[in-house]
Amino acid sequence: MTAYLIRRVITSIVVLLGVSIVIFFLLHLIYPSPAQDVLGAKATNAAVNAWNKQNGFDRPWILQYLSYIGNALHGNLGYSYKLNQSVAALFGERWARSLYLSGMSLLLSVLLAIPLGIYQAVRRNSLSDNTMTTAAFILYAMPVFFLALILIQAFALSLHIFSYEASQSTSVWAVMADWHAMTLPIATLTLISVAGYSRYMRSSAMDALAQDYIKAARAKGLPERLVLFRHLVRNACLPMVTLIGLSIPVLLAGNLITEQVFNYQGLGLLFYNSLGNVDYDVLIAYTLIGATLVIVGNLVADIALTVADPRIRLA
């Protein structure tokens, strides 16, 4: 068990190093230096060269990479020349808001998907199962922004129940309290994830229902309620752990688009705005953070699964 964990952590660190090299090299290839953006389009070549030399952009990319990683490990993620702020400070202002949006949606979608999936598996091929499957298929095929748009049209513009814009407050506590503004963004992300999760949960619960221990539990006369709660739920939920770990890239992408649609001042919107400005350091830092989240998510999911399921404890 310990040996497996150590091996797994080391692999993750190697992959993380590879990721940082690839991202840095890719961005370096696309934007060799932010000089022109910082100095303006009219800057002379001499000025650009001088700026590059001064800021270390004339060195080979591998040296730039090493100094970037060195800085990043000390918490210095670079400087946004467009917003005149350090990237770390920019992220510090916003990460809590993104975490709230994504975390809340993830929590809600898991809490919804588990009972939905089990219900569908138990009542498989009934009218309610088929209706929910159809709904899941439609939601799963829906672009995030299109769903957001429909929700805005229905609940904000027609019915005036919720706001079409997310909370603009700078305090995350105020954001959390503002359900009027936060319901639609959270609902958008939740609905998109619930579609995939509930379908997965349904097939996982169906597999579990066909197992002998369920037959044994029924055969010994256990009420159906207890069969489901004691024997089915925990076993059927196991594969969900892996799924949630794997769905982090999707969550990040959904987060970016949702923040853009609802003008929510989180990390995704910062990234989106930085695209237009070519704000080099923000782009690289957020891509790196996103990749780190993916790797850590997979690692945590693997470890959680090994802890939860004795059958897959590898020596």
Partner 1 sequence: MSNIDSLVLSPLGGARLPEGGDVGPIQSGWRLAVREFASNRLAVLGSAILVFFLVFCFAGPLFYHGQTINTNLLATNLPPGAGHLLGTTSEGFDELALLMRGGQASLEVAFLAAAFGIVLGSIWGAVAGLVGGIVDSVMMRIVDVFLSIPILFVVLIIAVRYGPSVLSLGLIIGGYYWLVPARLVRGEVLTLRTRDFVSAARIAGVRPWRLIGRHLIPNAVGVMIVNVTFNVADAILLVAALGYLGFGLQYPTEDWGDMLSNGIGYMQDGYWWLVYPVGACIVLVVMACNLIGDALRDSFDVRLRRR
- Residues forming contacts to partner 1 in the complex (CB under 8 A) are 11, 14-16, 18-19, 22-23, 26-27, 30-31, 125, 137-138, 140-146, 149-150, 153, 157, 206, 210-211, 249, 252-253, 256-257, 260, 271-272, 275-276, 278, 283, 286-287, 290-291, 294-295, 298
For residues 140 and 296, give the distance between their C-alpha atoms in angstroms, rounded to a whole number.
25
Question: In this complex, which beta carbon is closest to partner 1, that of residue 46 or of residue 157?
Answer: 157
Query: Which residue is it, tokens 């024997």?
Result: 231
Q: Which two tokens stand for residue 11?
A: 């692999």
Report the residue number, 111 or 154, with the smaller CB distance to partner 1: 154
Q: Return the axis-axis angle of helices 233-246 and 179-209, rounded to nearest 10°.
A: 120
Output the smallest distance, CB 1 to partner 1, in A.
22
CB-nearer residue toward partner 1: 7 or 53: 7
Q: Which is nearer to partner 1, 175 or 294 (CB)?
A: 294
Closer residue to partner 1 (CB): 172 or 196: 196
Judge contact between 291 and 234, C-beta under 8 A. no
The smaller minimum CB distance to partner 1, of residues 14 and 111, is found at 14
- Give the single-character DSSP code of 92: H
Q: Give whichever of 18 and 92 is closer to partner 1, judged by the CB atom.
A: 18
Contact 24, 30 (CB under 8 A): no
Q: How far is the CB of 287 from partner 1 (least distance, A)?
A: 5
Measured from the CB atom, is 111 or 249 closer to partner 1? 249
CB of 166 to partner 1, least distance (A): 17
- Cα 80 to Cα 86: distance, rounded to the nearest angstrom: 6
CB 3 to partner 1: min, Å: 17
Minimum CB separation from partner 1 for residue 40, in Å? 19
* Least distance (Å) between residue 176 CB and partner 1: 26
Say if CB 259 and CB 268 are below 8 A apart.
yes
- Smallest gap from residue 68 Cβ to partner 1 (A): 16
Backbone angles phi, psi at 222, to 5 degrees: -65, 135
Query: Which DSSP string do the residues of 98-157 spell out, in sequence order?
Result: HHHHHHHHHHHHHHHHHHHHHHHHHTTTSHHHHHHHHHHHHHHTS-HHHHHHHHIIIIII
Q: Is the dihedral of CA 259, 278, 86, 43 positive or negative?
A: negative
- CA–centroid distance for 224 within its chain: 36
Report d(CA 246, CA 294) in Å as an integer. 7
What's the closest the beta carbon of residue 256 comes to partner 1, in angstroms? 6
